[in-house]
Amino acid sequence: MTMDHAELTTDQVLRRDIPWETYMTTKLITGTGLQLLRRYDKKAESYKAQLLDDDGPSYIRVFVSILRDIFKEETVEYVLALIDEMLTANPKRARLFHDKSLANEDTYEPFLRLLWKGNWFIQEKSCKILSLIVSARPKVQDGVTANGEASVSKKTSTSIDDVLKGLVEWLCAQLKKPSHPIRGIPSAINCLATLLREPMVRSSFVQADGVKLLVPLISPASTQQSIQLLYETCLCVWLLSYYEPAVEYLATSRALPRLTEVVKGSTKEKVVRVVILTLRNLLQRGNFGAQMVDLGLLQIVQSLKAQAWSDEDLLEALNQLEGGLKENIKKLSSFDKYKQEILLGHLDWSPMHKDPVFWRENINNFEENDFQILRVLLTILETSTDPRTLAVACFDLSQFIQIHPAGRVIVTDLKAKERVMKLMNHENSEVTKNALLCIQRLFLGAKYASFLQV
């Protein structure tokens, strides 16, 4: 594919002059088709709109027949540009492709074929147009479409199943290896954000292992283009969050940490809204609730609630998510509760801190994730300004030193001594008292710890 074709725009293509008369001479278009094209081509937007209002299906028939019968690249590009222009001006015109008078026309086939055969301009326009046509089709009820015609699937023409599967296959191919280095992935995501409203597309997309192709695209964005791509990617994930097999895949991927990072750093309301709605959908599914608590999502949600959002759906979803996360924390085991308190960074003298049974039963849990909780405690000692939090953190550190067989060595290796020593001069007596206890246990070790109970 040459880059000049890749960089073509609809406006550039529509400046061409196509020799329609030659095509009629060679019987590639009919006399009626030529008349319609002469009447429509190169005319003002308002005039073309009137023609489409008066006799839209006839123009659709001509356009589709050209794409079916003529293979000259410049002409194919031109007709796709005409259809793109028509649908961009008014997307509802996609319904024209489903008019009763076109019941015997295979309106899907040319676009589906061009997805794989053409240059980038042809592929991109075919995908966009096909997505709009598919989404505008009358919904089938008991094998009969809304306008009373028999379902297309009983005919020899391309069935909707074939179209949706073909589209998903092409979209996944673009996400894996884009035909265009810049526009390939954004174009695919843009179409998916429309198509994933279809249950069959969700099913085909999951079967094609497409969900894993979305996850790397969930990352904080700064430029206008990347924000739009992020928004449409998150919109795809939101649509998939209603489909159980997709949810099962999301549970095993890095989707949740990535969504959390996005919502933590985004100021764009539409991005925050679609991520929060997705998280709300996932909250009660599988192990997502516990993972969200682990990721500190409650604090993020509370921070978001304090901001001025205009969207009522977003505010409602934030309230529901906050309530759901608090419920999840209540259900957690004693160590999970302790862990959440530490991860949230606000400590108080809840019973477990001074409960010897809690410490004996859970001391080995502190070793998880390379002593993650211990490291967070040390970060709290360095960053918190709340005296109660600092006092409890010093006490917990002293408990770990006393009860863990290698407590002194581990805490010394993590360079905790310097941090605690600084707090021995704190203005709050509760902080200095617990900092002193911690230092005594660090120097004296477990052998003498029983003499140092508070």
Q: Please write the tens of the pLDDT for every residue from 13-62.
A: 999 999 999 999 999 999 999 999 999 999 999 999 999 999 999 999 99
* Alpha carbons 210 and 208: distance in angstroms, whole number: 5
Q: Please write the tens of the pLDDT for every residue from 306-330.
A: 998 999 999 999 999 999 998 887 7
Helix spans in 345-413 (H): 356-362, 368-383, 387-403, 407-413
User: Above 70 in pLDDT, residue 155?
Assistant: no
Report the range of poorest mean pLDDT among 72-76, 151-155, 189-193: 151-155
User: Above 60 in pLDDT, residue 353?
Assistant: yes
Structure token digits, residue 15: 């400046």
360: exposed, middle or buried (Cβ count in 10 Å: 0-12, 13-18, 19+) = exposed
**Model confidence pTM above 0.75:** no
314: exposed, middle or buried (Cβ count in 10 Å: 0-12, 13-18, 19+) = buried
* Alpha carbons 384 and 366: distance in angstroms, whole number: 21
| Average pLDDT over the chain, rounded to an integer | 90
